[in-house]
Amino acid sequence: MNNVIFLGLVSFFTDASTEMVYPLIPLYLTMAFGATPALVGVIEGIAESLASLLKVYSGYASDRFQKKKALAFAGYSAALFYKIVLIFAGSWGGVLFARVVDRFGKGIRTAPRDVLVGESAGVGAMGKAFGLHKALDKAGAALGILITFYMLKYGFSDYQNVFLISMIPAVLGLFMFFFIKETTVVPPQKSRPRLLKSMKGLDGRLKLYLLVVMLFTLGNSSNAFLLLKAESLGFGAGSIILLYFAYNITASILSLPLGRLSDNVGRKSLLVSGYLVFSVVYLGFAFAWNQPILASMFVLYGVYTAMVAGVERAFVAEIAPPELKGTMLGLQSTVAGIALLPASVITGLLWNAFGSAVPFVFGAALSFAAAMILMIFWRNNGR
């Protein structure tokens, strides 16, 4: 499990760096450049979709060449370059380019990193391994958010100063790679079966889950809209950062125990329950009429993340063929990416046209539908 711990520390420091910046981006766009919710949706949709679309190719490369550590390092290096680009961004187009750089790196690193986590897990401990990694990931995110909160509170009101200081934990994250060992479960091969041909022999549960992921993601827009919702209810920049901290620290605390629970009770129970919790969260965001209710939805959103984020990766990693593990982990994210751009654009357009409640109701409905599909059709271990 040493690899899992050090990979978790890579994510801890990198997410601390990223989350020092991320909660400020929608505020930076709207305040500095006059961006509308629709434009924020386009920017986030393009950036996140690019990351997701790259993951299947990165996963395929990690399967073919078995150079997972090198690919992951290259992807995490982009998180450092992202801050440099962001500092010099002079328009919303510059912020878009910076976000693309950041998500490009995430697209490269995610699949090979997840393969390293899965291959480093002990027997029967896949959920525990991914839960531990997610716990460290979210703990770093919470730390980054807290650092930004205190920087803004005590005089670092210039966002660009925050962007500059956020480069320090990004460098620390890259240093952790010195302690990570490459894993090789299957030997590198010069040729692999075509992706569509490989899909024919996959476990039925995995095929079903990929379809469910696409449906769910159509209603799961960027977290930037959650922060804009908080702003619309009168939360200031500092308070919004604390709300995002509450979300991340909740996810960090619960990811490991819920990952272990999935090892014992099965992945389906956690995934179905997680989608139902998400549905409740989005309904809460839609109809929250005061600040305490909205604050509680951020905490509940952390519960959802702990129930699903690590568990779904553990499920894909353990059920995918060994020679296609990276490809399937990447494909799961790519399927989500296909729906992510229209999801964020739809949310922004619905927000502009009908107000903030409608897009969240739309997301809640699709999440509920995803839960019902898994509950009804995933029977007898999905076979």
Query: Which tokens hold the place of 40?
Result: 């924020």
* Token pair 């991914």 in the structure block, residue: 130
CATH classification of the domain holding 78: 1.20.1250.20
At CA 49, angle to CA 45 and CA 51, rounded to 5? 125
In tens, the pLDDT along 76-106 reads: 999 999 998 888 887 878 888 888 888 888 8
Compute CA 157 distance to the chain's CA centroid, rounded to the nearest angstrom: 28
In this structure, what token pair is assigned to residue 365? Answer: 């409905």
pLDDT of residue 157: 65
Report if residue 322 sits inside a domain. yes
| Contacting residues for 272 by C-beta, under 8 A, at least 6 apart | 371, 374, 375
For residue 160, give its domain range. 2-181+196-382
**Lowest mean pLDDT across 28-32, 127-131, 137-141:** 28-32
Residue 191 lies in a domain: no
DSSP state of 290: S
pLDDT of residue 380: 44
The residue that leads in pLDDT, 164 or 194, is 164
Q: Say whether pLDDT at 282 is over 50.
A: yes
* Phi-psi category of residue 202: left, alpha or beta, with phi > 0 → left and psi -120 to 50 → alpha: beta
For residue 219, being part of any structural domain is answered with yes
- Taking alpha carbons only, the member of 222, 205, 203 closest to residue 213 is 205
What six digits make up the tokens of 378? Answer: 């995933």
Contact by Cβ (8 Å): 126, 107:
no
Q: Is the pLDDT of residue 381 over 90?
A: no
Written as one letter, the residue type at 370 is A
Mean pLDDT of 349-367: 89
Among 89, 86, 103, 88, smallest CA distance to 20 is for: 86
Report the candidate in 99, 105, 55 with the shortest Cα–Cα distance to residue 210. 55
* DSSP notation for 337-355: HHHHHHHHHHHHHHHHHH-
Number of domains present in the structure of the chain: 1
Name the more confident of 51 and 285. 285
**pLDDT value at residue 172:** 95
* 3 residue type, one letter: N
CA 364: distance to chain centroid?
A: 18
**Would residue 35 count as lying in a domain?**
yes
Nearest CA-CA partner of 205 in 138, 266, 127, 282: 266
Q: Is residue 190 part of a domain?
A: no
In a domain, 285, yes or no: yes
Cα angle 275, 374, 202; round to 5: 120
Section 14-20 average pLDDT: 91
Q: Please indicate whether residue 202 or residue 93 has the higher confidence score (pLDDT).
A: 93
CA nearest to 229, candidates 215, 216, 239: 239
